[in-house]
Amino acid sequence: MTQQDVKKAFMYPPRSQNEFLELNKNALNKIGYDVQPTDLAFVKYMLASPRKAVVILNWVEDRVYGRSYKTAIQYFFKMIALVVFSKFFAKKVVWIKHNFKPHNSSGSTKRFTFLCRLFGLLGIPPVSLESYFKSPSLVHPLYKSDEKLVKHMQCGESQATNDVLFFGGIKPYKNLHLVLNEWPVSLPLKIAGKCSDPVYKEELESIISKRGLKVAWDNRFLSGEELNELLEASKFVLLPHSDGTMISSGSFYHAIGEGCNILTNESEFGREKSKHHSFVHLIDIKGISERTLKEIYVPKYKVLKEVLSHYGEDKVVDAWKVILAGA
């Protein structure tokens, strides 16, 4: 590929611990894009070379929550400036909409709604990671390379436990409190994730104690290596997120990349995935039992084979080609 063939793309946020950004950057590199962060160099480049680069925006409308009020307001105006600046100086703006509602809002969602409307007023349509929301869509990358998935498949069935795992940041929209109120007393449940809200943490611990549940809760942030080991050792992952909150789930793709079966509720995301995948099970919490889990379980190597055919690296790259066609 010659220097002239290389196209420029800038991605927001410029820094994140979320591996999602790096995985998409790799996919964009494969189709000839040099992907850089939206920092000061981004501003200088866009002013000097208008309409020459693509701007890709993630979580813009979500990031104006979860901070002090003063900082959140500052972010709000920064996001307005970023969106408007990108519209007028970029060749194309790709707005990836991840959620229906902001996850860190304490009540009002006015800033979220305003930013979504701003995108609309500027003629920037949302692009999602799920076709049920809008098509064409991107494909959420897996957190394992195709090569590693194939090797994992060839290893056959691992000695995973039947314990159900709930992992990730513990927040009310994930419905863990509702799950614990109905979870069968005799069935073990593993929880791995930090709850930063002391009031919600106390509520969850109270339910576990009063009902005498067999719950093991590792209340901390796990490293990527620790999480992968935990997923590899688990047959089932529980995703009971509230309907109408998230459009796509990174936890889903992280879990299936380790061959886990998914237990989910009657959400739009859950219903859609259960239609397409044998390893996604819509469940009634009260009706779960060791026998039920044994009957519905799809072996890990079969899950990985299915996962690879739907979400492999080539699928991610092909989806970006469609979204960026003509850019």
Alpha carbon distance 13, 64 (integer Å): 12
CATH architecture of 3-140+313-323: 3-Layer(aba) Sandwich (3.40)
Alpha carbon distance 27, 247 (integer Å): 21
Q: What integer pLDDT is reported at residue 224 of this predicted model?
A: 87
Q: What integer pLDDT is reported at residue 10 of this predicted model?
A: 98
- The DSSP bridge pattern shows strands 161-167 and 189-192 to be parallel
Q: What integer pLDDT is reported at residue 67 of this predicted model?
A: 74
Domains 3-140+313-323 and 146-310 share a fold: yes
CATH code for the part of the protein at 146-310: 3.40.50.2000
Could you check whether the bond before residue 13 is cis, i.e. omega within 30 degrees of 0? yes
Q: What integer pLDDT is reported at residue 14 of this predicted model?
A: 93
Terminal-to-terminal C-alpha distance of the chain: 18
Q: Contact 288/156 with Cβ under 8 angstroms? A: no
Alpha carbon distance 236, 261 (integer Å): 5
Q: What integer pLDDT is reported at residue 66 of this predicted model?
A: 73
Alpha carbon distance 24, 244 (integer Å): 25
Q: What integer pLDDT is reported at residue 157 of this predicted model?
A: 64
Q: Which two tokens stand for residue 230?
A: 């935990």
Q: pLDDT tens, position by position, for the chain (327 residues)?
A: 455 567 999 999 998 878 999 999 999 999 999 999 999 999 999 999 999 999 999 999 998 887 788 888 999 999 999 999 999 999 999 999 999 988 776 678 899 999 999 999 999 999 999 999 999 999 999 999 999 999 888 876 666 666 799 999 998 889 999 999 999 999 999 999 999 999 999 999 999 999 999 999 999 999 989 999 999 999 999 999 877 888 999 999 999 999 999 999 888 999 999 999 999 999 999 889 999 999 999 999 999 999 999 999 999 999 999 999 988
Domain boundaries, the chain: 3-140+313-323, 146-310
- The model's pTM is 0.92
